[in-house]
């Protein structure tokens, strides 16, 4: 049987976080009442003239540099003509043959994923299909042009990805880079980071690309992964049945977890691109590119390497921290103060992350909590000096994370004292508790003696419980061993 491999290329539309739109001064703020942030330019009235937002250009160049692209000295805008109700001009100002960024790459693990181009364009308005039965059976549609003219950077990869998981990693890394550059929110649900996936399959060993289908309408990384997987399977089925894959655009249906055809190649648009006559070509000097390059922050790849080489973290831990920029910034502050790197990372990756994952809805970040980097360092120091054990350290951390910001700053040592959380290391005290536990559980002790060594963990738990979680685990273990061996 023929073995097939998948070939995937991604097109990402990233909304750039400028204050005003790309060709007019309307606000880009999300969430306003419909059609409150519009003007003749972004409504496409006849006779108006677009003016390029320099910030949008700078953000685009920033991304290009971070994605190892070439920034040509000259690029230009073109008109992409198509008619749809969300586009009042009946053309979108985009870039066709001379994009602002060309030929870059992004690393996914050790693999280089080439980026063909990244170009600037304006977003379209938003249609709300209302009445009767929603999308396909609605009575009428409402148009909101607040989004019309919001700057987008479309980033197009070469077809270098091979699996849905690689695609997810590529998107994660790309989004992290854009967030580090502070040019895009990277929010798939709100649509500030949108991804179309191009998928084809070919027999393993074959160089020629197969016919691709383009899939749209995924609004989470998981959806992208599933959509690609389902498309690969659909195409394999077709070929195994002796049928052909046809070039088409398909939409992902989250409810049925499958794709359906939206339009075939025959129905595809001829965009009749031509140079935008109302905008002068873009000129970017080498000096300007160097200035922007010199202002770039530390990027995810460099930070990951630093966490692995200097802080001794595993690739996995380093990656998780780096993807969560606010946690990583906080971690850096703690490192700056001299916190032990691994213990500090463990607290952030374990209890702190699960705290934020649980506090659903509100996008609360660590910088919005009362916990300071100094607190984190103090907690780590308290573990090392034996004042806290891992359980109580975790408790202090979680308590501080959950505390109302109005409480004001908290000192770890005072909090530990107030709550009586200091670790119990007194051997005599622990010894008598261990003895009491063993005396009180004769059945379990007999089981242990009979060879059921797992029961030791039960005894440990009982001792810890009696010490309200504050016992020094090493000393409990030592005394427990002595008593179990000695009797």
* Residues forming the site for ligand ADP (CB under 6 A): 7-11, 156-159, 198-200, 209-210, 212
Give whichever of 156 and 445 is closer to ligand ADP, judged by the CB atom.
156
Q: Which does 344 bind (CB under 5 to 8 A by kind): Zn ion, ligand ADP, none?
A: none
Q: Which does 9 bind (CB under 5 to 8 A by kind): Zn ion, ligand ADP, none?
A: ligand ADP
Neighbouring residues of 266: CB distance < 8 A, sequence distance ≥ 6 = none
* Dist. CA 180–CA 183, nearest whole Å: 8
- Which of 143, 101, 128, 121 has its CA nearest to residue 21? 121
DSSP output for 198-247: EEEEEETT--S----EEEEEE-SHHHHHHHHHHHHHHHHHHHHTT--PPP
Q: Which does 303 bind (CB under 5 to 8 A by kind): Zn ion, ligand ADP, none?
A: none
> Do the Cβ atoms of 41 and 88 come closer than 8 Å?
no
Q: Which residue of 10, 22, 26, 152 would you call a contact of Zn ion, by CB under 5 A?
A: 26
Q: Which does 157 bind (CB under 5 to 8 A by kind): ligand ADP, Zn ion, none?
A: ligand ADP
- Region from 3-11, 36-44, 294-302, 355-363 binding Zn ion, contact rule CB under 5 A: 36-44
Q: Which does 334 bind (CB under 5 to 8 A by kind): ligand ADP, Zn ion, none?
A: none
- Which of 15, 8, 9 has its CA nearest to residue 194? 15
Give whichever of 119 and 212 is closer to ligand ADP, judged by the CB atom.
212
93 binds Zn ion (CB under 5 A): no
- Region from 25-33, 58-66, 160-168, 314-322 binding Zn ion, contact rule CB under 5 A: 25-33
Min dist. Cβ of residue 147 to Zn ion (A): 11
Give whichever of 55 and 111 is closer to ligand ADP, judged by the CB atom.
111
48 binds Zn ion (CB under 5 A): no
Min dist. Cβ of residue 223 to ligand ADP (A): 18
* 3-class secondary-structure state, position 295: coil
Residue nearest to ligand ADP (CB): 9
Give whichever of 40 and 312 is closer to Zn ion, judged by the CB atom.
40
- As given in the structure block, the two tokens for residue 334 are 């703690």
> Up-side HSE of residue 421: CA atoms within 13 Å toward CB?
21
**Which pairing describes strands 91-94 and 101-108: parallel, antiparallel, or unpaired?**
unpaired
- As given in the structure block, the two tokens for residue 176 are 């992290």
Min dist. Cβ of residue 148 to Zn ion (A): 8
* 3-class secondary-structure state, position 314: coil
Min dist. Cβ of residue 355 to Zn ion (A): 42
22 binds Zn ion (CB under 5 A): no
DSSP output for 17-38: --SB-SSS--B--TTPPTTSS-
Min dist. Cβ of residue 4 to ligand ADP (A): 12
Min dist. Cβ of residue 393 to Zn ion (A): 53
* 3-class secondary-structure state, position 67: coil
Helices and strands (H, E) in the chain, number of each type: 16, 15
- Which of 186, 189, 179 has its CA nearest to residue 217? 189
> Do the Cβ atoms of 389 and 423 come closer than 8 Å?
yes
Neighbouring residues of 46: CB distance < 8 A, sequence distance ≥ 6 = none
Q: Which does 99 bind (CB under 5 to 8 A by kind): Zn ion, ligand ADP, none?
A: none
Q: Which residue of 11, 39, 111, 234 would you call a contact of Zn ion, by CB under 5 A?
A: 39
Q: Which does 39 bind (CB under 5 to 8 A by kind): ligand ADP, Zn ion, none?
A: Zn ion
Q: Which residue of 7, 8, 16, 42 would you call a contact of Zn ion, by CB under 5 A?
A: 42
Residues that bind Zn ion (CB under 5 A): 24, 26, 39, 41-42
């Amino acid at each position: 049987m023929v073995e097939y491999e998948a070939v995937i290329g991604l097109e990402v539309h990233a909304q750039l976080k400028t204050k005003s739109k790309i060709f007019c001064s309307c606000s880009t703020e999300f969430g306003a009442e419909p059609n409150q942030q519009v003007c003749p330019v972004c409504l496409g009235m006849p006779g108006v003239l677009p003016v390029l937002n320099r910030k949008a250009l700078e953000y685009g160049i920033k991304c290009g540099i971070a994605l190892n692209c070439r920034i040509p000295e000259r690029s230009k805008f073109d008109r992409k003509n198509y008619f749809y109700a969300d586009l009042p001009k009946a053309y979108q100002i985009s870039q066709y043959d001379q994009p602002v960024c060309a030929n870059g790459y992004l690393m996914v693990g050790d693999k280089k994923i080439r980026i063909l181009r990244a170009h600037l364009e304006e977003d379209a308005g938003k249609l709300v299909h209302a009445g009767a039965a929603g999308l396909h059976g609605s009575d009428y549609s409402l148009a909101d042009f607040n989004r019309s003219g919001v700057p987008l950077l479309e980033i197009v990869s070469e077809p270098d990805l091979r699996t849905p998981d690689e695609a997810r990693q590529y998107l994660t890394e790309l989004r992290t880079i854009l967030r580090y550059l502070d040019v895009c929110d990277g929010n798939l649900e709100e649509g500030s980071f949108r991804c179309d996936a191009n998928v084809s399959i070919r027999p393993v060993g074959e160089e020629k690309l197969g016919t691709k289908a383009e899939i749209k309408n995924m609004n989470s990384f998981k959806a992208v992964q599933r959509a690609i997987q389902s498309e690969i399977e659909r195409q394999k089925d077709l070929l195994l049945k002796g049928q052909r894959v046809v070039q088409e655009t398909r939409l992902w249906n989250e409810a049925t977890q499958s794709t359906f055809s939206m339009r075939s190649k025959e129905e595809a648009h001829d965009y009749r691109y031509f140079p935008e006559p109302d905008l002068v070509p873009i000129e970017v000097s080498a000096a300007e590119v160097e200035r922007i390059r010199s202002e770039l922050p530390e990027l995810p790849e460099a930070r990951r390497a630093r966490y692995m080489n200097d802080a001794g973290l595993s690739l996995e831990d380093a990656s998780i921290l780096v993807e969560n920029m606010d946690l990583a910034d906080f971690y850096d502050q703690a490192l700056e103060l001299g916190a032990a790197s691994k213990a500090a990372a463990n607290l952030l990756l374990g209890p702190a992350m699960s705290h934020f994952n649980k506090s659903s809805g509100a996008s609360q970040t660590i910088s919005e909590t009362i916990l300071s980097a100094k607190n984190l360092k103090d907690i780590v120091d308290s573990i090392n000096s034996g004042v806290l054990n891992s359980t109580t350290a975790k408790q202090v951390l979680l308590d501080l994370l959950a505390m109302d910001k109005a409480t004001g700053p908290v000192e770890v040592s005072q909090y530990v004292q107030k709550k009586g959380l200091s670790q119990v290391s007194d051997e005599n005290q622990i010894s008598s508790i261990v003895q009491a536990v063993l005396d009180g559980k004769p059945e379990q002790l007999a089981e242990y003696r009979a060879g059921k060594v797992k029961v030791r963990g039960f005894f440990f738990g009982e001792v810890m419980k009696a010490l309200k979680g504050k016992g020094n685990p090493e000393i409990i273990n030592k005394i427990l061993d002595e008593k179990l061996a000695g009797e």
